[in-house]
Amino acid sequence: MPAFSRLIRFLAKDGHVYYGDALLPSGVSDIAKATRARVIQGDIFGQHRVTEQVAEVKMLLAPLARKDIRTVRCLGLNYAQHAKEANMPIPKFPVLFYKPVTSITGPTDDIPVAPIAQDGEGLDYECELVVVIGKEARDVPESRALDYVLGYAVGNDVSHRDWQLKHGGGQWSLGKGFDGWAPFGPGIVSSSIIRDPNALKISTKLNGQTVQSSTTKDMIFGVAKTISFLSQGTTLLPGDVIFTGTPQGVGMGRKPQLWLKDGDKVEVSLEGVGSCLNQVVFSKPSAQPSKL
């Protein structure tokens, strides 16, 4: 078990970046409200300790530095009601795709939309339970799978449906892998606190209005089953990040469809963890784009 309860990575008011164990007011579970933390020394995936040094939080960062992330795995169609709204059959096995590490960003960072993703329709939100692997795992039985979890966070699997479904040649990663399209956080809650990741409320608000509201009970492949499956013949490593799919209510599944626009604010929340609040920002072209 990790020494921390609620891991955050943050820029402190003293100008330094630390890993820390968030100090929350009594009765508060949203890590985004942390203003102080005990500084952590050592390897968060190995020998580390929570010190008595308390630092003031200036800004929360992505809870893992990019250098500490090994892979970003994602599941598609992993909620029964989401598969139904997408008019797709319930998958027999987990539907797996990957995002690049450059897609990872923090709980309050902007979601940058490059010119290539500004045309057409389909810029969408997806709130997701995020699992962080804490120790090496291969061929793990489902009964022991949660023993390999460092903790849990909430993330947004930002997607562009045209690039995902029409222009990607059947591969989803193109429409989901742009820089900054995997904000997650606001921290990582230890598996010692969240004992049952399959019983958590999860939701999205778009400009303050709830557009997704469900529980992780609706997952087709729960966390333990997912970890066990992904570890069959493939070694999961400390620092592997797994986005576990989104519930119903995505923009693609609504009538009329609801696409993200420049300036929209998207808040994804997970019970016991907290929220990430990110603004959609359309970037200007820096050079003449190539014609595909």
Measured between alpha carbons, how far is 118 from 70 in angstroms, rounded to an integer?
29
pLDDT for the residue 268: 98
pLDDT at 85 over 70: yes
Domains of the chain: 6-61 (no CATH), 66-282 (3.90.850.10)
pLDDT (tens digit, 9 = 90+) per residue, 9-58? 999 999 999 999 999 988 899 999 999 999 999 999 999 999 999 999 99
Q: Is the pLDDT of residue 286 over 80?
A: no
Say whether 247 sits in a helix, a strand or coil. Answer: coil
Main-chain dihedrals φ then ψ at residue 269, nearest 5 degrees: -135, 150
Per-residue DSSP letter, 219: B
Q: Which two tokens stand for residue 82?
A: 């989401």
Phi, psi dihedrals of residue 224, rounded to the nearest 5°: -60, -45
Closest CA to 204 of 157, 262, 266, 153: 266
pLDDT of residue 86: 86
3-state secondary structure of 113: strand
What pLDDT score was predicted for residue 91?
94
Please give the Cα distance from 35 to 47 (Å, whole number): 26
pLDDT in tens, 159-211: 999 988 888 777 788 899 999 999 999 999 999 999 999 999 999 999 999 99
The per-residue pLDDT for 291 is 43
> DSSP alpha helices (H): ranges in 133-273?
161, 223-230
**148 and 133 in contact (C-beta within 8 Å)?**
yes
Full-model pTM: 0.95
Average pLDDT over residues 62-87: 94
Over residues 227-241, the pLDDT tens digits come to 999 999 999 999 999
User: What does the block give as tokens for 131?
Assistant: 């699992």
